[in-house]
Structure 1
């Protein structure tokens, strides 16, 4: 897939991986980009960072269905169609499940999963108007392997994986490709309260993700061979992976207690 001239919608594009994805899109010749973001100043900064881009902005929380409807309507009015949808926005609230506030559970489901489904629903008619369309969904390595103290986050990111497979098969007759990416710990604002020691750069994650989109890959998995090995073990002998994870139980618990980016 060639990206030059494509019209793109991205959620969470004002910072972190999303902003780096915009940089990659611009390098590939994209000039029309719609962004949903919560922070007014960060959205304004995008215009200064990417002066060649014709931006469409909707400020708000992707967990709010009204915001999603507004974005889809704005794209239809301004562009008449859409070529690429990137579901990137995400939040996290980690820790023992019985200690996570109820509202954090609901919000993680709303932003990380429900918004992906609903925004995709609103964008499908717009994508069908394109000669060659694509969807890029950002899951997580924790969507492949459920980890203690990330039960909610792992669950919704696993949901993104299953949704990606299902909607890819549903949209196959319409020439709409679907790629799902699974970043490991990435050095963004979302990880400021994490105690993760080794992290990928957002630039690296964005570059590989956009490359995967262009190549129409089904899945882009980060974390190297170890992640692939653990995923295989998790499928074939989950009890063995349970034992391996149990060895660092207290360390994992301690590291999760302050990890929150809502």
Structure 2
């Protein structure tokens, strides 16, 4: 798949991995990008930073169904079809489940999962109108392995993995590919609490994810061989991984406290 001339819709594109993906898309020749984001000022800055790109800017929360409908209606009106959908927006609120506020449980499910379902649903007719369509869903390494204190966030990201598999098989007859990326710890605002820890750069995650989409890869898994070994262990001998996780239970609990990025 080539990027030049493609019409793209991305959520959460004003910072972190999302903004770096916009940079990658532009380097590949994309000049028409629709962006859904809550920060109106950062949306404005995109046009200043990337001159020559025709941005379709939609200010709003992806948890709001009307915002999603408006975005798709504007794309249909302006472009007529969509080539690439990137579901990137996400939030996290970690800690023991009993301590997570009810509103934070609902918001994580709404933004990390429900919004992805609905936006994809609304975009399918526009993607079918393209000669070659693609969907890139950003999950998380915690969507592959359930870890304590990230039960809600990890569950929403695991749901993205399952959704990606389902849609890949459902949309295959229409020449629409679906790629799911699983970043590990990435140096973004979401990980401010963990400054000083070794993390992937958002540029690396963006480049690898976009490249995986272009190559029509099913999954892009970050974290190297160590993460792949953990994935295999979790599938083949989950009780063994339970014991490994238990060894630093209190450290994990302490690290999760106040890890909130919304």
TM-score by length of 2: 0.99
Aligned partner of 2:98 in structure 1 is 98
Instruction: Please state how far the C-alpha of 1:197 moved relative to its aligned partner.
Output: 1.5
Report the equivalent of 2:169.
Answer: 169
Equivalent position of 2:180 in the other structure = 180
Structure 2 Cα separation of the partners of residues 196 and 255 of structure 1:
13
Q: Distance in 2 between matches of 1:260 and 1:193?
A: 9
Q: RMSD between aligned alpha carbons?
A: 0.8
Q: How many Å apart are 1:52 and its aligned residue?
A: 1.7
Cα distance, 1:198 vs structure 2: 1.6
Alpha-carbon separation, structure 2, partners of 1:91 and 1:201: 18
1:249 CA drift (Å): 0.4
Could you tell me whether the CA contact under 8 Å between 1:85 and 1:136 is conserved in 2?
yes
Greater CA drift, 51-60 or 190-199? 190-199
In 2, Cα distance between the equivalents of 1:196 and 1:155?
27
Question: 1:41-81 CA distances to partner (integer Å, 9 max, x unpaired)?
Answer: 11011111111210001100001111000000000000011
1:41-56 map, 5 Å: 41-56=41-56
Distance 2:59 2:148 in 1: 34
Instruction: Verify the 8 A CA contact 1:185 1:196 in the aligned structure 2.
Output: no
Deviating above 6 A after TM superposition, structure 1's stretches of 4 or more consecutive aligned residues are none
Q: Structure 2, unaligned stretches of length 5 or more?
A: none
CA distance in 1, matches of 2:107, 2:258: 17
In structure 2, how many angstroms separate the alpha carbons of the residues matched to 1:196 and 1:179?
30
Runs of at least 5 residues in structure 1 that lack an aligned partner in the other structure: none
Q: Is 1:4 aligned to residue 4 of structure 2?
A: yes
Paired with 2:254 and 2:52, the residues of 1 have a C-alpha distance of: 45
Secondary structure of the structure 1 residue equivalent to 2:193: coil
Q: Judging changes above 3 Å, is the alpha-carbon distance between structure 1 residues 54 and 45 closer, same or farther for their aligned structure 2 residues?
A: same
1:201 aligned residue = 201
Report 1:1-262 matches (<5 A): 1-194=1-194, 197-262=197-262
